Amino acid sequence: MRATKRRPVVRLDATGARRARADTLAGEEPLEIRVAGVPYSITMRTPGADFDLVAGFLVSEGLVWHAGQIASIAYGAGVEPDGSRSYNLVEVRLAAGVAPPNPSLSRHVYTSSSCGICGTASIEAVTRASRFAVDGDGLRIRLGELLALSERLRDGQQVFDVTGGVHAAGLFAVSPDGQAALACLREDVGRHNAVDKAIGWALREDRLPLSRTVLQVSGRASFELVQKAYMAGIPALAAVSAPSALAVELAAECGITLVGFSRGASVNVYAGEQRILV
């Protein structure tokens, strides 16, 4: 399975010129997630870093919060219509003593690329508490470093370079003097998937909580992205576009620094201004 696919396209311009060619598009395939042998969710994703995606999804769902709670992640058996092996099923085996998910909270409908909350069985599942606190993290980031993150994220977007059709999420580790270094970058057609892939990488590397980290995303800051940051112990979230009102309320309640329109020479700080060194 590939992150990109070639498809024919006809290009038309205002002069009436017509040119047929092949275009490179972002891949999008369903991924079924099974936990302890039970189907838990199906999400549409760009193939690649699937195990990171699943691990991050489990963190966001509150099922796990450190690497030792997952015994194994593996592709399940299956074949495509052409007879090739399918990579659209991932099975998670939890470590001994880790509680399996509550069947009543399983997502019984497709989770779309644009909205990971759709299909959650109960509203209480959305507002689950994090195992990590973000207050007292000591994170301080220089404004110049913060302003540069969106461009540094864009520079690392290899799939976007050839398709123009994926979101990105980057984890930037911040040093005590306020400098930021890229630790992980992930891309996906779904902004929530890109974040889950980055968080899942951190879980599998046993780096949670991400207490001295800024999460930079390529799109807007939704309520769900703030929630994912909170679940991973990330104290700061920066977005290229605007946040939603509910995202701002959640960030303020949880103590997360939330920045929008993070590009160019200025940013809008909606919560947690104390972490930014001007």
Tens digit of pLDDT for each residue in 144-195?
A: 999 999 999 999 988 888 888 899 999 999 999 999 999 999 999 999 999 9
The structure's pTM equals 0.89
Cβ contacts of 66 within 8 Å, gap of 6 or more? 203, 206, 208
Is the separation of the CB atoms in 193 and 168 below 8 Å?
A: no
| 250 alpha carbon, distance to own chain's centre | 18
Active-site residue numbers?
Answer: 115
Angle CA 117–120–123, to nearest 5: 95
| Per-residue pLDDT tens digits for 71-125 | 999 999 876 677 677 789 999 999 999 988 876 655 544 444 444 454 333 334 4
